[in-house]
Amino acid sequence: MLRSFRQVFKSNRTPMAAVMIVVLLGLVAYLAPSGGAMSADTVVARVYGHEVLMRELAEHMQELYQRYGKQASPEALKPFVQSQALRDLINQRLMEELAERHHVVVTDEEVGARLRAFLRQYPMLLDPKGNLKPIAELKQIFQDMGFNPALQERSIRSELLRTKLVQQSALQVPVDEAWVAQENRLHNEKVAFQQATLTVDAGKVADPGDPSLEAFYRAGGERFLQPPRRVIQYVTVDRASMAKDLQVDEASLKAAFDARKGDTTEFKARHILFKAEGEAQVQEATAKALLLRERLVKGLDFAKTAEEQSEDPSAKGNGGDLGWFNASKMVKPFSDAAAAMKQGEISQPVRTQFGVHLIKLEGRREKKFEDLKAQLAKEISDSRFTARAQERLEQIKKRANGGDLAAAAKSLGSTASLSQPFSNEPSAQVPGLPELPQMLGEVFRLKVGEVSKPIPSADHHLLFRVQEELPEAVPPFKDIRVKVLAAYQLEEARKQAVTKAQQALKAGGLQAVGPVTDQAAAPLSGLRDLVAHPGIRKALLDTPVGQPTPVLWTQDGKLWVARISSREPAPALVFETRRNLIQDLQTAEAQKLLSAELQALDRQGRKRPGFSSLWGHFGGIYVNASATQVSVED
């Protein structure tokens, strides 16, 4: 067959060459980043060959907007919502890739069964025999409710994938007898103890001078080793630089007021909330709300009842009073219900992401132009500032053409500055860059010489270029004297604190160390902050009754010591409790392993975005930057 193919190819070189060129061009067009007009099928990201489409990004953004509730300035929230939505979808694709690697499959039948079970929880979707209504009727109900079954199906599939991956991994986690015994003690042995803590004040340790500090510095070895640090060149645009462009005239204010006349109605209401998370809780809360509504309609005092029964903490002092609000200040189901009510009316149960509400409308009024004038002026000014600042920074980026930003910035009336070197640590701080902690990921993701997208901030917008990367090194003493002094003072303060605590324990017990608190007899697993520390966990398990524990350091840097008052041993394990404990341990470890695998897959993929989306098809993560900058309707 191969020989025949070769003969055909040789005898038809010109036609076959044309065919191969067409195929090649089609492949390049498919793999190349989307350009021109964006559509619902535009590829926003490609994660190890799994595509994320613009349609999915828009749908998930809408879902997040509903979850967060309407904001006063949706445009200001949009970058955050879009970033979170893209992050969620990339994580979902990483899960799909991991499932493929582990040969984990979720069938359409499994998803369908879970979806049908979910829908059967709602009586309105069932016929008199208890079966789901015909598809045509369900579609109409879904449309009226604003419910998208495709999103629910996607969520179910993702959850099933995760569950199966955890179950598969859990079976491979070895659990020995010592681990089971310790876990049994943590959950079932009751320990009572007294504890004392001592706060260390490193500031009281005097500066010993350069000779002592330099000796401490030299003996420190890698203590003062700094990881790779970066220097960025950055340009900021603030309001003062474009004050004239931000002035708002009367005509613009009136046009904005006219455009939002549907949102100028304000309501005054009280509510009673029954918290609910899962569907079972929602049904229970709805039943309670319906029974209570009957009594309220018959004359039961709403405010007093809200103080007694509402699960909204703020209702305890104000009878569930929400004051005056407009539709944009509340989640949509709540504001829609208020808008449909008459003054004095009590609503049917209203479901939101917070639970189930009963609403009593106490007033309604229309806001006039003068009432909203200042707010409209600020919103228009903010919107103009965002647009103008982003536009100027994009122009600077375009003029710089991947090179130095200084000349391009100067040509447009801005100034470029160089930062001090900084590392990729959450505590990194640089004068003039208060938003650095939020930028770190992007700074260290870009390559040296690359320029960022314009970054919005509270009162200015910023563009940066990665200027250089300094290698891992121990800086000269004079450059980090402040850091060396701080380390010396902390070490000396800790030595003094340990000595003081040990002497105090010999002389006068825990009271001589610091304030003493009593911990009543209880399982240690309930003391999460303490037992998360391996040394403290071991000390509380191993120290005999009546004896003090070793002197240890808490995670927040305080000296800690305790004296065991009593122990009530854990009951012996039987087959059922042993099996459940082992399963819990395996599941917990499997979840950690799964998270670690996903993070490793993410890091690996981010290192290889590849040429256009080519590598994104076969082994990396490609993000279509031009697509993620497109406005997505909210």
Give the pLDDT of residue 399. 93
* pLDDT value for 262: 60
* Cα Rg of the chain, angstroms: 32
Q: Which two structure tokens, joined as six digits, stand for 267?
A: 């309501």
| Shared-domain flag, residues 359 and 276 | yes
618 and 556 in a common domain: no
Instruction: Judge contact between 465 and 449, C-beta under 8 A.
Output: yes
Residue 124 shares a structural domain with residue 194: no
Tell me the three state secondary structure of residue 174: coil
Sequence-ordered strand ranges (E) for 290-391: 321-326, 350-352, 355-366
Min mean pLDDT across 55-59, 256-260, 434-438 is at: 256-260
- Kindly state whether residues 397 and 501 are assigned to the same domain: no
The number of domains in the chain is 5
Its sign, for the CA torsion 71, 72, 75, 76, is negative
Residue 216 lies in a domain: no
| Residue 35, pLDDT score | 45
Statement: residue 400 has pLDDT above 70: yes
Write out the two tokens for 268: 């005054």
Q: How confident is the model at residue 76 (pLDDT cuts 50, 70, 90)?
A: low
- Residue at 258 is within a domain: no
Pair 489, 385 in one domain: no
Instruction: Give a yes or no: residue 67 inside a domain.
Output: yes
Mean pLDDT, range 1-27, rounded to an integer: 40
Name the residue range of residue 6's domain.
1-31
Tell me the per-residue pLDDT of 567-590, one tens digit each, with 9 for 90 and over: 999 999 999 999 999 999 999 999
Contact status, residue 127 vs residue 141, Cβ threshold 8 Å: no
User: What is the CATH number for 195?
Assistant: 3.10.50
Q: What's the rounded mean pLDDT across residues 72-93? A: 79
Average of per-residue pLDDT across 320-333: 86
Q: So what's the pLDDT on residue 107?
A: 93
* Residue 371 in domain: no
- pLDDT surpassing 80 at residue 629: no
Query: Are 103 and 169 in a shared domain?
Result: yes
| CA distances, 205 to each of 25, 483, 492 (Å) | 71, 14, 7
Which of 314, 333, 366 corresponds to the end of one domain?
366
Identify the CATH number of the domain in which residue 585 sits.
Answer: 1.10.4030.10
| Residue type (1 letter), 273 | L
Confidence band, pLDDT 50/70/90 cuts, at residue 177: very high
Q: Looking at residue 152, what is its pLDDT?
A: 86
* The predicted structure's pLDDT at residue 33: 45
195 shares its domain with 178: no
Whether 255 is in a domain gets the answer no
Say yes or no to pLDDT of 41 above 70.
yes
Q: Do 270 and 359 touch, CB atoms closer than 8 A?
A: yes
Region of poorest pLDDT, from 48-62, 285-299, 324-338, 602-616: 602-616
Q: Which of 15-29, 409-423, 432-446 has the highest mean pLDDT?
A: 409-423
* Structural tokens at position 541: 């398990």
Picking from 33-42, 127-136, 381-390, which range would have the lowest pLDDT averaged per residue? 33-42
**CA pair distance 463, 415, nearest whole angstrom:** 11
Cβ pair 186, 525 in contact under 8 A: yes
Nearest to 37 by CA among 52, 54, 50: 54
Cβ-contact 155, 149 below 8 angstroms:
no
Residues 406 and 491 in one domain: no
Q: Which residue has the higher pLDDT, 628 or 183?
A: 183
User: Is the pLDDT at 409 greater than 90, yes or no?
Assistant: yes
The terminus-to-terminus CA distance of the chain in angstroms comes to: 57
CATH at residue 304: 3.10.50.40
Q: In the predicted model, is pLDDT for residue 27 greater than 50? A: no
Which of 473, 491, 524 is the endpoint of a domain? 473
For residues 47 and 162, state if they share a domain: yes
Flag whether pLDDT at 394 surpasses 50. Answer: yes
CA atoms within 13 A on the CB side of 320: 23
Q: Is the pLDDT of residue 71 over 80?
A: no
Neighbours of 625 (CB within 10 A): 10
Asked if residue 183 belongs to a domain, the reply is yes
Domain boundary among 548, 568, 588: 568
Task: Tell me, yes or no, whether 218 lies in a domain.
Answer: no
Tell whether 69 and 164 lie within a shared domain: yes
Q: What is the pLDDT of residues 530-567, one digit of tens each?
A: 888 999 999 999 999 999 999 999 988 899 999 999 99
Is residue 530, in this structure, part of any structural domain at all? yes
pLDDT over 90 at 146, yes or no:
no
Quickly count: other Cβ atoms within 10 Å of residue 460's Cβ: 17
Residue type, 277: E
Percent of the chain with pLDDT over 90: 45
In terms of domains, do 413 and 449 share one?
Answer: yes
- Name the more confident of 425 and 69: 425
Tell me: do 386 and 239 sit in the same domain: yes
